[in-house]
Structures are given as C-alpha cells and as structure tokens.
Amino acid sequence: GFLEQQGKMLILHVKGEPYERGYQHGYLLREVINETVPKCLTAAAAVIAKAINGSVDDGFKKMQNGLDQCKGYIPPELLEEQRGLADALSAGGSPLDFNDILVWNTMYDSWCFFAHEDVGDPSSEFYRAPYPHTIGCSSFSAWGNATLDGKLIFGKNMDNLTLPGVENGRVVIFCDPDNGFGHVNVTQAGMLAIDGGFNEAGISMMTHYSGSEYETMRGCGIGTLSRLILQKASNVNDA
C-alpha cells in the first residue's frame, strides 16, 4: 500500500488480503485517524445527544448499541479488514482499539437516525416517525454533450456529513483486493467506506438516504453494503 496527495486530497492505495489491506490503511493514515476519529465520534455523539435531549455519553451509548445490533451482519472479511486497521493503530501507540474502529465504521448509520429534526420516540432504540421533508443526499451522472470528451462523469457532494474535523480526514481509497473487483470509493480515514464509488467491472453506485419508520440497525450498514457492491458486483442485477 501507499499514500499520495493531490492538492488537499488524500489518496490511499491498499492491496491484498483483508487483514493486509486494513493494516496498510491503519499504518499509512495513522496520524490522520488519531486526529480526526476521536473528534468526529464526539461530535456525532453530541448531534445524537441533542436529538434525544440527552448527554454526550447517551449519544455514545446509542452508537455502541447500533454497533451491537448490526455487528452480526458485517461479513467476516470486512471485520478482518477492520481488525488489521486497529492492529496497525495499536502498533503505533494509538489509544483507539478494535471496538472504536467498529463504532467509527457504523457511526454514519447511527448518525443518519438522529441527525434530522424528527427522530420519533426517543425511548425506542431505533425508531423514527416519517416526516414530510426528508433531507437526503445528492449525486450526479453526466455524459455526452454535457462533458468535454463525452465520457461519463459520476460524482457526489460530501456536505451531508459536516461534523467538526471531518473534512481533514476525507480520503479516496483505491482498493485492489485479492478476492473481487478493484474499486475506488470516497470515505473517511479509518472508515472502509461511506456510501459510494465505482469498480473495474463498470459499476458505479451511490446511496441516497430517505427517512422511514421501518429503519433499523439490524443490517450490514451503509459502508458495508457499498463495499460489498463495489467488490462483488459486475452488473446491476448482482448489485
């Protein structure tokens, strides 16, 4: 693996088996992860705390509870990648551990439940009432006469996750797995994926959030689903 920078953009290249990819990620981005992840987790806990009218500790408990509910749905391969990431941090003396990395990688899912005005009944673990004006994401595709060379451009804004310090940890990952398709995705340092990218088989994907009373953390999560699609899918039906 190796790290490069173009302007303010960090570009991480990882390759190999899951644990190896994770270790490369943690080793090469160790300083950025140590700086940004504690700040961003605390900020996310504060957002959740405000939504449920609780304390920051309550916000952390909600994120831990979310992890506990979805952990069984995360494929072993991606758990191993996160373990490698945590081990690389530990080898460098980081206070962050494996559980912290798991919470960080599912934080975006927990945050989506509570970062909007109407979160339903705060006494429920994960329930939100439907609301009429859902604030979601945006992405775009452009081709033909809309681009200089006629080729497809696929993009997304990243203003939906505006926690303090988060922009300093934003990274583009080029992943060359031993098993599956090579792919590129935009994410945060220490986080395997957030919600979009493209792969060498020609699949481009992006998630768009829409609030629902049927939401639950009992599933693999946004980042995990994104990685599974990018690494495994060669056509829309497979995706």
Q: Which residue has the tokens 């696929």?
A: 154
pTM given for the model: 0.88
Query: Distance between CA 37 and CA 100 in Å, rounded?
Result: 9
Q: Which residue has the tokens 């060498």?
A: 200
Query: Distance between CA 155 and CA 152 in Å, rounded?
Result: 10
Return the pLDDT at 220.
86
Reported as a single tens digit per residue, the pLDDT across 11-23 is: 999 999 999 999 9
Of 141-150, 163-172, 179-188, least confident by mean pLDDT is 163-172
Return the pLDDT at 213.
63
- Helix, strand, or coil (residue 55): coil
Output 114 or 177, whichever has higher pLDDT: 177
User: Looking at residues 131-156, what average pLDDT do you find?
Assistant: 80
CA dihedral defined by 53, 57, 61, 63, rounded to 10 degrees?
80
Whether residue 54 has pLDDT greater than 80: yes
Query: Distance between CA 52 and CA 183 in Å, rounded?
Result: 37
**What's 80's DSSP letter?**
H
Question: What are 11's two structure tokens?
Answer: 């570009």
